[in-house]
């Protein structure tokens, strides 16, 4: 016979919920639904009968002494806890699921026990109350969740438990890592030490730190991060510093690549190996029916360049010259829209950093199969442009040709030849000497073109950037900075050739209604700003009037170049916009129509612009990081020569021309004579490369 009772009379064992836990008690008094209860800890409480859980009993004598009542409560409590721990909840749910939508506790107990006692029923009730993923208590019954709800609630419960574990072990560990980052202590050597979180928490913590490093505005982990980082300083790049202190990232880690989702090295293309192999074969074996390109054909690049995407040939014409700019032509066989193309577009451009180059294309393509290497036949886009002696460019002709370069020359060798020619000295014995005539013609043409562009309003900033090199690894890396080798004539020759070719194809495409990506800087400049600028203060003044150039489909002027339109096309191995433009031109030549309409080019640009922006940040900020580290390694006792470029009541900005850097100091450090153009010597300190901080500590007028 069941020992359950229907009404909580004195002597009845009852249970109720308090603090999200089941409490057991014995009724000592009852009056109108108001109960007085004795608890196992010998204390008493009052409770409405409506709050009791729907399993009452057993009923003991109302005359029990306090000690006997406490003993009985302890026995019932222990028995119910023991029985509840043994309830097979998974089997209970499987048997009930689909049979009933809801049922009382005794119904579930009867699935496994015939005529269950009240202790057994209470044990099942306790177990079901604790299994919130499968059951919901809706007094007096338990609702049985269907399978899909159970799966969702289990996932939520798992996430909750993981979050609680992360908070419990993660916050303290982050504070430990910050102390390690500040060099206040060493990282514990053993993960088994009490200061390390569990492997599961550590894994989750690393995920959160990496996510915040890549995207500081990440909303997915915002609340969690605020809780984890409570008590830590609100400094830039905190997750990066903690990961480096943890040893998960090496010292001086280039997090900008992660933010751009740009994979360094030359293995990123392995999933597309078949496409790469096919393109490699096509690049090394151009069509035999293509016309031959001009001879001699030369490229001029820095000594470290491996991806050669442009070359030239100059010949004398009646009123000036005819120049043919020869461009590497991966666009002829490029699989636009395919997996490899999408990966390359996601890279957007090659990166040239002190720690190493990151090529836009697989190196077997960009530095080998499509690269214009001397003595090797390649498909190429030839841009033939007549240029008058006044530097005026005529209408260009385009053709796809088989090009074979005579030489890959360096700026240094070409400058030596040009210097010897200017001085009337014997030519140096180097690789450029046999092509002295071509170099002389190219320089004459380039000077004429530059003069014509300046007449049209071009603004040219002559601001050489130093060469930054690294030795050593990790914490022991040492930054070296030296003036770049000066080859002004050779560099100007190449620059003018490339500007000429990009302007010429922009005009060619405009006349034929061929949509292109244009580099635009549509701003009105004072006429006196045209020219070549070398003084830091002058360059700063002129730069204030310039707006950054933008990439657009609509052809509009480029003020700084002094051109009505400019469509970059000369670096298809290094820049994705150039590859797209080249594809438009070659398709127009072969099919009589552009590959993409203006609307399609606009759509491509919308996808490409964010990529170029984030990758551009890598190219801007990473070299500056190494420059700042160089100054920190030099210490704060050295003096550096500079020129004031801007000043106001609060701050003065100084250009360090030899280091290619601008620094700022408070106005009070400078005397009353400080003005733009004034030469000064400055002492620098408080250098934080990661935070992009460097400060002028002291300044004196240069002697």
pLDDT given for residue 272 in this prediction: 97
Can you say whether the dihedral through the CA atoms of 629, 633, 634, 635 is positive or negative? positive
Task: Calculate mean pLDDT across residues 48-62.
Answer: 93
Higher-pLDDT residue of 599, 62: 599
pLDDT band (50, 70, 90) for residue 136: very high
pLDDT given for residue 1 in this prediction: 40
Task: Calculate mean pLDDT across residues 418-442.
Answer: 97
Task: Calculate mean pLDDT across residues 333-339.
Answer: 96
Cα dihedral value 254, 257, 259, 262, nearest 10: -160
- Cα Rg for the chain, rounded, in angstroms? 39
Task: Calculate mean pLDDT across residues 652-668.
Answer: 95
Where exactly are the structural domains of the chain?
13-142, 149-249, 270-434+458-624, 635-701
Per-residue pLDDT reduced to its tens digit, 141-166: 999 999 999 999 888 888 777 777 77
Secondary structure E strands in 318-447? 320-328, 351-353, 356-358, 377-388, 397-404, 407-410
Is the CB of residue 628 less than 8 Å from the CB of residue 692? yes
Secondary structure (DSSP) of 88-126: -HHHHHHHHTTT-SEE-HHHHHHTTSSS--HHHHHHHHH
What residues contact residue 206 under an 8 Å CB cut-off, 6+ apart? 243, 246, 248
Task: Calculate mean pLDDT across residues 2-26.
Answer: 90
Residue 6 has pLDDT above 90, yes or no: no
Give the number of other Cβ atoms within 10 Å of residue 289's Cβ. 6
Q: What is the SS3 assignment for 470?
A: strand
Query: Which residues on adjacent β-strands are paired with residue 701?
Result: 680
What residues contact residue 179 under an 8 Å CB cut-off, 6+ apart? 185
Longest dimension (CA), the chain: 129
Task: Calculate mean pLDDT across residues 641-655.
Answer: 94
Per-residue pLDDT reduced to its tens digit, 518-563: 999 999 999 999 999 999 999 999 999 999 999 999 999 999 999 9
pLDDT given for residue 645 in this prediction: 95
Secondary structure (DSSP) of 388-420: ETTS-B---EEEEEEEE-SEEEEHHHHHHHHHH
Q: What is the SS3 assignment for 540?
A: helix
- Mean pLDDT, rounded, of the chain: 94
pLDDT given for residue 187 in this prediction: 87
pLDDT given for residue 703 in this prediction: 76
Q: Write out the CATH class of domain 635-701.
A: mainly beta
pLDDT given for residue 191 in this prediction: 65
128/123 Cα distance (integer angstroms): 9
Structure tokens at 180: 């390690």
Residue 220 has pLDDT above 90, yes or no: no
179/193 Cα distance (integer angstroms): 17
Angle formed at CA 416 by CA 353 and CA 660, multiple of 5 degrees = 35
Secondary structure (DSSP) of 136-172: EEETTEEEEPPHHHHHHHHHHHHHHHHHHHHHHHHHH
């Amino acid at each position: 016979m069941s020992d359950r009772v229907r009404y909580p009379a004195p002597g009845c064992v009852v249970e109720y919920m308090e603090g999200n836990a089941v409490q057991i008690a014995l009724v000592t008094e009852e009056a109108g639904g108001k109960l007085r209860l004795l608890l196992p800890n010998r204390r008493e409480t009052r409770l409405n009968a409506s709050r009791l859980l729907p399993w009452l009993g057993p009923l003991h004598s109302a005359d029990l002494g306090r000690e006997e009542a406490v003993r009985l409560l302890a026995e019932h409590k222990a028995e119910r806890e023991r029985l509840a721990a043994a309830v097979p909840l998974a089997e209970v749910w499987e048997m009930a699921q689909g049979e009933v939508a809801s049922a009382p506790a005794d119904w579930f107990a009867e699935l496994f026990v015939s005529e269950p006692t009240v202790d057994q029923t209470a044990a099942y009730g306790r177990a079901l109350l604790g299994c919130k993923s499968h059951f919901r208590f809706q007094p007096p019954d338990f609702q049985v969740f269907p399978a899909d709800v159970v799966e969702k609630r289990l996932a939520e419960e798992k996430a909750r438990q993981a979050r609680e574990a992360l908070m419990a072990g993660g916050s303290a560990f982050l504070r430990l890592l910050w102390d390690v980052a500040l060099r206040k202590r060493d990282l514990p050597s053993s993960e088994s030490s009490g200061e390390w979180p569990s492997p599961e928490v550590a894994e989750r913590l690393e995920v959160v730190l990496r996510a915040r490093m890549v995207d500081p505005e990440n909303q997915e982990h915002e609340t969690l991060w605020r809780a984890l980082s409570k008590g830590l300083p609100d400094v830039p790049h905190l997750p990066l510093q903690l990961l480096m202190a943890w040893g998960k990232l090496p010292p001086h880690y280039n997090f900008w690549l992660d933010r751009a989702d740009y994979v360094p090295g030359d293995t990123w293309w392995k999933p597309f190996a078949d496409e790469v192999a096919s393109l490699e074969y096509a690049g090394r074996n151009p069509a035999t029916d293509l016309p031959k390109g001009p001879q001699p054909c030369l490229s001029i690049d820095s000594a470290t360049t491996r991806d050669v995407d442009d070359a030239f040939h100059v010949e004398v014409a009646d009123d000036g010259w005819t120049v043919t700019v020869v461009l590497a032509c991966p666009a002829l066989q490029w699989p636009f829209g395919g997996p490899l193309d999408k990966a390359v577009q996601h890279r957007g451009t090659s990166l040239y950093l002190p720690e190493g180059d990151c090529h836009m294309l697989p190196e077997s393509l960009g530095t080998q199969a499509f690269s214009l290497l001397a003595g090797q036949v390649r498909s190429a886009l030839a841009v033939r442009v007549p240029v008058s002696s006044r530097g005026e460019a005529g209408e260009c002709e385009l053709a796809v040709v088989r090009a074979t370069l005579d030489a890959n020359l360096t700026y240094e060798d070409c400058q030596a030849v040009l210097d010897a020619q200017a001085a009337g000295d014997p030519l140096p014995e180097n690789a450029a000497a046999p092509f002295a005539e071509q170099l002389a013609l190219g320089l004459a043409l380039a000077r004429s073109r530059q003069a014509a562009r300046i007449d049209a309003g071009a603004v040219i900033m002559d601001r050489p950037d130093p060469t930054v090199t690294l030795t050593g690894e990790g914490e022991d890396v040492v930054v070296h900075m030296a003036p770049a080798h000066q080859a002004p004539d050779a560099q100007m020759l190449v620059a003018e050739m490339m500007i000429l070719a990009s302007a010429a194809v922009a005009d060619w495409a405009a006349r034929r209604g061929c949509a292109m990506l244009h580099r635009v800087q549509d701003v009105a400049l004072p006429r006196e700003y045209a020219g070549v600028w070398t003084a830091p203060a002058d360059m700063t003044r002129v730069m204030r009037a310039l707006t950054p150039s933008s990439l657009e489909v609509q052809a509009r002027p480029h003020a700084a170049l002094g051109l009505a339109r400019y469509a970059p096309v000369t670096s298809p191995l290094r820049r994705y916009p150039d590859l797209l433009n080249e594809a438009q031109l070659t398709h127009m030549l072969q099919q009589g129509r552009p590959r993409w309409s203006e609307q399609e080019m606009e759509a491509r640009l919308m996808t490409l612009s964010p990529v170029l922006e984030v990758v551009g940040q890598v190219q801007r900020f990473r070299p500056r990081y190494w420059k700042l580290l160089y100054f920190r390694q030099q210490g704060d006792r050295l003096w550096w020569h500079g020129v004031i470029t801007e000043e106001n009541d609060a701050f003065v900005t100084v250009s360090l021309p030899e280091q290619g850097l601008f620094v700022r100091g408070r106005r009070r450090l400078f005397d009353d004579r400080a003005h733009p153009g004034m030469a000064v010597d400055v002492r620098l300190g408080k250098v934080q490369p990661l935070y992009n901080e460097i400060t002028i500590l002291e300044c004196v007028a240069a002697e």
